[in-house]
Every structure is written in structure tokens, then in C-alpha cells.
Amino acid sequence: MNRDLQLVSQGGNQEVLGPFGRSFIGEFPTRGTLSIIAVAILFDFFVAGGWISFLLLSVITIFLAIYFCYNYIEPHFNSRIGVEREKKLSRITKDPNHLAMGDIGRLLHGYGKSAIGQVWDLSGKGSLREAFEGVPADLSAEQRPVGVSGKTWVSWLIILTFLIFWWVALIIGSLAIFLALYLVGISEGLAISVSSLLIYIILIPLTLLFIHVDGSLDRIKEMLRFGSVKRTLILILAIPIVVTIIGWILTIIYAVVWIGIFGEPSINTDMGTDWESSSIDIALLFLSVAIVTPIVEELMFRGYILDAINRKHSDWTAIIWSSILFGLLHLFGGVFYIGSALIGGIIYGWIRMRTGSLLPSIASHMMWNTLALVVTYL
């Protein structure tokens, strides 16, 4: 028997719904919800005046579709057949792996701030890391990972040593690869795209080596776990969409304030490629900037550095300092870029702390870089 019809037959009042109503029966996301999202994207495609407006409109309509389907449409049809979902708070308290995301979660699920303490139960916990991962803040010398020292300045020395080595490898490696490609006759744009892609691919094992030396590799693997379909959709779609909207708004405010104080910002966006370049150049640039770069940078800054600082300092101290270091990474794009990256780093760090997963920050970073790439070259 069809799963939807079976649920209908189990309902208290035995009311048989039509095909539209039955499509919203079951656990989120239902077929009806996915269909509405698809229709919304199709509608955006036809009414948008360009790629930028299409992307922005899609972000907004997808969020609205998820919000209204989850909170109103699906509960409406489920209640008509007598299938009442458990109260959200009672359900998530039974599931220790359920994501409760504070303000963002309240938008998507209706959780109130009062639910945070009950769901996460931070009483007696030294940090969110301890609450989520069960790792005591005061590890003994035998239990402490290799990268952790009993002295704060030693821990910072290790962190900065790793970071400087990572930066040097990034700069020298990309320049060396670019020069090698350029000298053999490859065009400047293609050489830039290939060198950027290759150096970040090389940095993946180097970053994982840092994390391994730090003794945190198993924890990083756990933070990259997808889990159920619902959990995955929340981590890589719902949260990133909200984060991208918030980041976009804050960056616009930041840009307006900057222009009001300092005038038009000087931004270096020349990567040797534009929309008139070959499809190979554009594809390699997209793969480098929008896919590989976010993965590597999130592993380094939200995977290693954030937690390394958090072992010696509070959550917000770790978020701010890791974001400052992340902002300095973008110095070559211009001083304006440092502030823009700082805003992104704070948002990604907060999301990483609240969810205990790297997936939302990676997906958010990918969305942001994709939008930035489109805006830059249009």
C-alpha cells in the first residue's frame, strides 16, 4: 500500500484527502513541499531579470517555501487525518542528535529561546563544545590532544605557527604553480585558475595533517557527518540559505558605512578571467573559488583554529579571534575585504558552534563565494 494512503488509513477520522493533500502527509520534507520548492524556483527563473536577481529571489522563495510548508501546510493536512505530530520540543528532547539552532531554528521550526536551555541543557557545561561533543573542557595531560598545552601562550604559539605555515604554503605554492604554468605558454587567466585550484587541493591534506597533529581528526570526521535526510537538508540547505541572506544584508550595511566614511572601496577582483573567457577557464575558476576553497578554509578556520582557541577561551572569544585571522587571509583583496570576511567568519563560527557541524558553514561559504563570483563578473 502507498505510504501516504497507509497513513491516511491510520488516521483518526478516516478522511480521505485528494492527491494534493496526500502529498503533504508524512515527515518533513514531503513530496508536496519539494514540489512547491521546485515550482518556486521555476517561477523565479521566468520572472527574474538576470542571474543575480534569480539567485537572490530563489534564496528568498526557497526559505519561505520551507517555512510555510513545515509550519503550516504539512501540519494542516496531517491534522485533517488525525495524525498529530509530536510537540517539537518534546520530540527533540528525545533525540540528542537533533539540531536546535536558536534564532535560526526558531524561524524554521518555531523553537523559542526558552527551548535552547532545555534542548541543549548547558547547565554545568563549560562550553558548547562540551555540551555537543561530551569533551570536558579541563582535560588531563594524558587525555589532552597533542596540539593542546597547559599554558595559553604555548597553545597560541602552536596555532599561529600552523597558520603561518599554512599561509606561506598557500602564497608560495600558488605563485610557483602559476609561474610554472605561465612560463610554458598557458594564458594568464587559465594559469591563475589552475594554480588556485591546485594549491587548495594540496592544502586539503596539509590542513588534515594539522588537525591530526592536534588530535582532533576523529572529531572533525564527526562534524562532517550527514546523518538523516532531514538533518542533511537542514545542515546544507536551510541554514545556509538563512545565513547567506543575513550575511548579504550585513555586508550591504557594512559597505554603506564604509562608503560613508572612507569613500568607494578599493577592491582587487582581477583573477584573469571574465565571462568572455573560455568555458574551461570559467569552470576551473568556479570549481576553485566556489567549491574547493570553502572546504579548505572551513576545515582550517572553523575546524581547527576555532576549536583550538576555544579550549583556552570562551566561545565568543574563539569566534572573534578565528574570524579576525580569517579576515586577514583576505588582505590581498583589499582592506575592505578584511571586514567583509570578518563578518562572514563571525557568522560561520557562530553556526559551527550552535550546530556542532562543519557542513552548514561549508555550504554557506560555497553559496556566498558563488554569489560573490557572479556579482563580480557580471
> Rounded to the nearest 10 degrees, how much is the dihedral formed by the CA atoms of 93, 73, 356, 59?
-170
pLDDT of residue 104: 45
pLDDT of residue 12: 43
**Burial of 208 (C-beta count, 10 Å sphere; 0-12/13-18/19+):** middle
Report in angstroms the alpha-carbon separations of 99 from 104, 160, 199. Answer: 11, 32, 34
pLDDT of residue 16: 55
- pLDDT digits 0-9 by tens, 183-194: 998 888 788 889
CB 217 within 8 A of CB 211: yes
In angstroms, the first-to-last Cα distance of the chain is 51
pLDDT of residue 332: 80
Of 375, 191, 190, 199, nearest to 280 by C-alpha is 190
Report in angstroms the alpha-carbon separations of 66 from 36, 75, 102, 270. Answer: 9, 13, 17, 37
In angstroms, the CA 194 to CA 338 distance is 25
Query: What sign does the CA torsion over 250, 253, 259, 262 have?
Result: negative
Domain ranges of the chain: 1-85, 137-378
**Burial of 113 (C-beta count, 10 Å sphere; 0-12/13-18/19+):** exposed
pLDDT under 50 in the chain at which residues?
1-14, 87-94, 96-148
> Rounded to the nearest 10 degrees, how much is the dihedral formed by the CA atoms of 110, 128, 218, 239?
30
pLDDT of residue 144: 45
CB 78 within 8 A of CB 84: yes
